[in-house]
Amino acid sequence: MSKVKVITDSSADIPEQLQKELEISVIPLKVHMDGKSYGVELQAEDFYQRLKQASQLPTTSQSSPHELCEEYREAARMGAKQIFSIHISSMMSGTYQSALIAKDMVKEEGIEVTVFDSKSVSYGLGMLVVAVARAAQEGKSIEECQKIAEKVRDHTELFFLVDTLEYLQKGGRIGKASALFGSLLNIKPILSISREGEVFPIDKVRGKNKAIGRLFELMQQKVPSGSPVSVGIMHADNLIEGEKLLKKVEELYDVREKVITTVGPVVGTHAGPKTVAIVLIPLKD
């Protein structure tokens, strides 16, 4: 085990193979659906099928300080000298605050924890976690890991294309009238995340093809075409569209690393089925 142990939460949507390869521990956020609570055992395909038929939107809840304490203690028992705990934006979940409480609780036991607010979600968070976990495996110190996390966080560009306004409406993000009007006009919202870690709408476009074109226009305003990049493609039960997006990114950019991953139930509860997203990190030559 690396001296620095990296821990995150299930909103990071990191593919299981990468989790194992980089020894990343994942704390489950909870999804409450049909009277039951689920952690990581709820498979994405099953979740999206059930979500389409649900009359009531599932809810999500943060990790508790107790759950985080147990994960920190386990990491220490396994030989970790320091723990780097990276989580979903504090503007979206209380998990970051739970981690701060847990950090103080285990400090008396001699367990050192650094808690980091990713100010992101899904593979925007996941890509940051992967970068830090690789640094940890290379033997980087906790201070070096934090600098890498800050650099990645400050240069990440994340864009979501939501297929329908229905789930934003069910989650209270927009009104029923707006959702109905948007559905009738086939409106596709394009969302991003601010540097403070809050989701905000960039644009809304009528029709999927026009929306995808607009998404790439916005992306190129942030990251010029031809730039070397790491890219993550996220999809909510929409792999074919995700693969099309990746192909387009590869046409526009010098892609050095690529990952396609499924948007898990935690984020999918609010974004809804068929959502796709792109995360880019510009790289130096």
Q: Give the bridge partners for 116, in sequence order.
A: 86
pTM more than 0.85: yes
Q: Residues 182, 241, 184, CA angle at the centre, nearest 5°?
A: 15
| 47: in domain | no
Q: Is residue 46 part of a domain?
A: no
Q: Which residues contact 208 (CB under 8 A, 6 or more apart)?
A: 163, 186, 188
CB 70 within 8 A of CB 102: no
Q: What are phi and psi of 111, to 5 degrees?
A: -95, 120
- Which has the minimum average pLDDT: 165-174, 236-245, 263-272, 273-282? 165-174
| pLDDT confidence of residue 169 | 57
* Domain end marker among 108, 125, 153: 153
pLDDT digit string, tens, across residues 141-193: 999 999 999 999 999 999 999 887 666 655 554 444 344 344 545 778 888 99
**Residue pair 276/242 in contact by the 8 Å Cβ criterion:** yes
- Boundary (domain end) residue, out of 153, 184, 200: 153
Which pLDDT band holds residue 5 (cuts at 50, 70, 90)? very high
In the chain, the number of structural domains is 2
Same domain, yes or no: 102 and 169:
no
- Same domain? For 149 and 234 the reply is no
Q: Which of 28-32, 117-121, 230-234, 241-245 shows the lowest per-residue confidence on average (mean pLDDT)?
A: 28-32
Q: How many Å apart are CA 240 and CA 51, to the nearest integer? A: 20
